[in-house]
Amino acid sequence: MTDNARLSLHVPEPAVRPGGQPDFSNVKIAAAGAVARPAVDVAAEDIRDLAYSIIRVLDRNGEAVGPWAGALSNEELLTGLRNMMTLRAFDARMLMAQRQGKTSFYMQHLGEEAVSCAFRKALNKGDMNFPTYRQAGLLIADGYPMIDMMNQIFSNESDPLHGRQLPIMYSSKEHGFFTISGNLATQYVQAVGWAMASAIRNDSKIAAAWIGDGSTAESDFHSALVFASTYKAPVILNIVNNQWAISTFQGIARGGSGTFAARGLGFGIPALRVDGNDYLAVYAVARWAAERARRNLGPTLIEYVTYRVGAHSTSDDPSAYRPKTESEAWPLGDPVLRLKKHLILKQAWSEERHAQAEAEIMDEVIEAQRQAEHHGTLHAGGKPSVRDIFEGVYAEMPPHIRRQRQKAGY
């Protein structure tokens, strides 16, 4: 007979709680330029280390260094900076609009702007994103009109989705932005299925799946990886690790795995970790993965290491579960300030031009908001017709819905 241990569950705990000193000593950060850039047809097992390191291009001085640097011109970087600044200004105005009761709900991207803005650049027209609620940068960077986003947020008479979706759950086939599903992780199975369909048709279009750190605990995440790896689907599997899932810290969903990227290795999927606050690194890695998919080399898993600076949503108060100063201690800095510093160093930008651009962008956002509000907000002005509830959902309307429609008088 052996002595049995007293059993107990291991429940991971964040390093600090409100009132404590923020501590990110657990986040091991590689020096910018230190991680190799393998050929796109590399085998997953030959780049295992890339799932545990962090690919970075911008160093502390704002210089772009190493094998992942040099992929973008100054002009492209200036556009990238403008996109991120636009997303930030858009967020600030919509957060305020929610506080003013013009919409019931909003979710911002503060600190995570580089992920979606830089990623969009790696895709072509016709490729399809399956995004969550924290990738509006995909739309902004693709030139989707802000007024249409606002009309959707206000659920007004010009809402492109006619009030049938929650605020911020945008949809645009033309801009490669699949209708956002509130049920997290469904994006993964849908994206892999879409990519498989593209390959079955011998098409050239690729898909991108999006998920947050917390949502990787959903079984859909794992099912999607089985199909993606078995059939070598042309898909980019994105995990945005912003350290938090509402009030749950990333350690809960990560479990015993060293990193989220490392989850890909068990499936034989090449997996990379990238500095999510580094516009240049995000773009370089996304393009690498897109090239693999386009060359029919199969899926790539990318973990973006970033930090959710703001609240989860307008219904959340992070001071209840993390130190107030935690975002200031985040070691990877701010994506807008880092790209700005880089462009100033290259003499392609200046403090004055930045301040001027900030003012111009805010004017554009305010003007779009003025026009959107003209079409109505949550409690004022034009609304979608009740008839719209019944349209565009079923190819053939079931009898019970038809009866409801008749009862409603439409």
Ligand X SMILES: Cc1ncc(C[n+]2csc(CCOP(=O)(O)OP(=O)(O)O)c2C)c(N)n1
For ligand X, the binding residues (CB under 6 A) are 134, 182-185, 212-215, 218, 240, 242, 244-246, 308, 312
Q: Please write down the long-range contacts of 86-91, taking CB distance under 8 Å and 24 or more positions apart.
A: 86/140, 86/146, 86/361, 86/364, 86/365, 87/113, 87/116, 87/117, 87/136, 87/137, 87/140, 88/113, 88/336, 89/358, 89/361, 89/362, 89/364, 89/365, 90/136, 90/140, 90/146, 90/149, 90/365, 91/310
With CB under 5 A as the contact rule, the residue among 132, 151, 238, 242 that binds Mg ion is: 242
With CB under 5 A as the contact rule, the residue among 245, 253, 261, 271 that binds Mg ion is: 245
With CB under 5 A as the contact rule, the residue among 33, 212, 318, 376 that binds Mg ion is: 212
Distance CA 237, CA 257 (A): 17
CB of 392 to ligand X, least distance (A): 23
307 contact choice in Mg ion, ligand X, none (CB below 5 to 8 Å, kind-dependent): none
User: For residues 214 and 270, which CB has a smaller minimum distance to ligand X in the complex?
Assistant: 214
182 contact choice in ligand X, Mg ion, none (CB below 5 to 8 Å, kind-dependent): ligand X
326 contact choice in Mg ion, ligand X, none (CB below 5 to 8 Å, kind-dependent): none
Contacts (Cβ under 8 Å, ≥6 apart) of 364: 86, 89, 146
68 contact choice in Mg ion, ligand X, none (CB below 5 to 8 Å, kind-dependent): none
CB of 132 to ligand X, least distance (A): 6
Distance CA 110, CA 108 (A): 6
159 contact choice in Mg ion, ligand X, none (CB below 5 to 8 Å, kind-dependent): none
CB of 212 to ligand X, least distance (A): 2
CB of 214 to Mg ion, least distance (A): 5
* Per-residue three-class SS string for 333-391: CCHHHHHHHHHHHCCCCCHHHHHHHHHHHHHHHHHHHHHHHHCCECCECCCCCHHHHHC
155 contact choice in ligand X, Mg ion, none (CB below 5 to 8 Å, kind-dependent): none
User: For residues 32 and 237, which CB has a smaller minimum distance to ligand X in the complex?
Assistant: 237
C-alpha distances out from residue 358 to 83, 96, 211, Å:
11, 18, 30
Instruction: Single out the segment in contact with Mg ion by CB under 5 A; choices: 89-97, 118-126, 207-215, 337-345.
Output: 207-215
User: For residues 177 and 349, which CB has a smaller minimum distance to ligand X in the complex?
Assistant: 177
35 contact choice in Mg ion, ligand X, none (CB below 5 to 8 Å, kind-dependent): none
Cα torsion angle, 42, 43, 44, 47, sign: negative
Residue, CB closest to ligand X: 212
CB of 172 to ligand X, least distance (A): 20
Question: Taking Cα atoms as reference points, which of 269, 265, 302 lies closest to residue 285?
Answer: 302
Which 8-state DSSP code applies to residue 22? Answer: P
Q: Where do contacts with Mg ion occur on this chain (CB under 5 A)?
A: 212-213, 242, 245
